[in-house]
Amino acid sequence: MDSLFLKKVRTEADIYKIPRIKDEGFEFIKQLVIDHKIESVLEIGSGNGYSTLLYFTLPYVRKILTFEYNPKRYNLARHNLKNNKNIRILNQDFLEYFESGERFDLIFIDGMKRKYIDFFKHSLRFAKHSTIFISDNINFTGFDKKDSIPKKHQNIVKSLKEYREYLTKLDGFDTKIFPDKGDGIAITKKR
Ligand SMILES: C[S@@+](CC[C@H](N)C(=O)[O-])C[C@H]1O[C@@H](n2cnc3c(N)ncnc32)[C@H](O)[C@@H]1O
């Protein structure tokens, strides 16, 4: 995939104000994906497909299933992803997807921040023992470090705090939080 196209998709996300992964955050994820020879990815929240394309450029990745429930973003992403037959994008709420049978090496949680605990629980049916869960924006633009959180973000910051506590106390799983990678990234694995 040529880097000009990737840049175009990144600029498109910025023009339409579609949140996208921070490049430095993806640099960190990239190494992990390569080290673990990740072949299949389940992504919750495609946006306009920028992170989906980034994953697909990585050496071992050969299959991606991604969910985007916002119709406008879905249409942009579908267009951006259309040349890759091993990427499937579904225009539906991930929490309403129950089809079983498929298991993924990596589950990337990047949908609505208030729903992260629900996403994690729901995604377990698509996981194997070795699956790695990556949760993005775990520190939500650094608001945790600031004294005053804008009112409109208070619920999100609270939900993400609850999610971090949920993950770190979860029986049978180990979670490491990397607050300084991108917008904060949590890596969770089954014990
Ligand atoms: C942070 S953006 C995704 C950015 C994208 N992963 C990237 O880095 O380029 C989150 C997206 O998730 C979508 N979303 C949120 N909750 C969802 C759900 N339950 N099912 C499907 N899509 C969801 C939103 O519409 C939004 O476009």
pLDDT of residue 141: 65
pTM (two decimals)? 0.95
Asked whether the predicted pLDDT for residue 103 surpasses 60, the reply is yes
Mean pLDDT of 156-173: 94
pLDDT of residue 79: 98
- Structural domains in the chain, CATH included, are 3-190 (3.40.50.150)
Our measurement of the distance from residue 64's CA atom to the centroid of its chain's CA atoms, rounded to an integer in Å, reads 12
Phi first, then psi: give them for residue 129, nearest 5 degrees.
Answer: -65, -35
* Distance between Cα 47 and ligand 1 center (Å): 5
* Distance between Cα 46 and ligand 1 center (Å): 5
pLDDT of residue 147: 62
Asked whether the predicted pLDDT for residue 145 surpasses 70, the reply is no
* Distance between Cα 94 and ligand 1 center (Å): 10
Nearest to 49 by CA among 19, 16, 17, 81: 81
pLDDT of residue 182: 84
Mean pLDDT of 5-15: 97
Pocket test for ligand 1, best of 110, 122, 138, 159 (most atoms within 8 A of CB): 110
Pocket test for ligand 1, best of 8, 57, 68 (most atoms within 8 A of CB): 68
Q: What is the pLDDT of residues 18-34, one digit of tens each?
A: 999 999 899 999 999 99
Mean pLDDT of 129-149: 81
In this structure, is the dihedral angle defined by the CA atoms of residues 94, 96, 102 and 103, taken in order, positive or negative? positive
CB neighbours of 143 closer than 8 A, spacing ≥ 6? 149, 150, 153, 157
* Distance between Cα 191 and ligand 1 center (Å): 28
What lines the ligand 1 site, CB under 6 Å?
A: 19-21, 45-47, 50-51, 67-70, 73, 93-95, 110-112, 115
Q: Within 10 Å of residue 28's Cβ, how many Cβ atoms?
A: 17
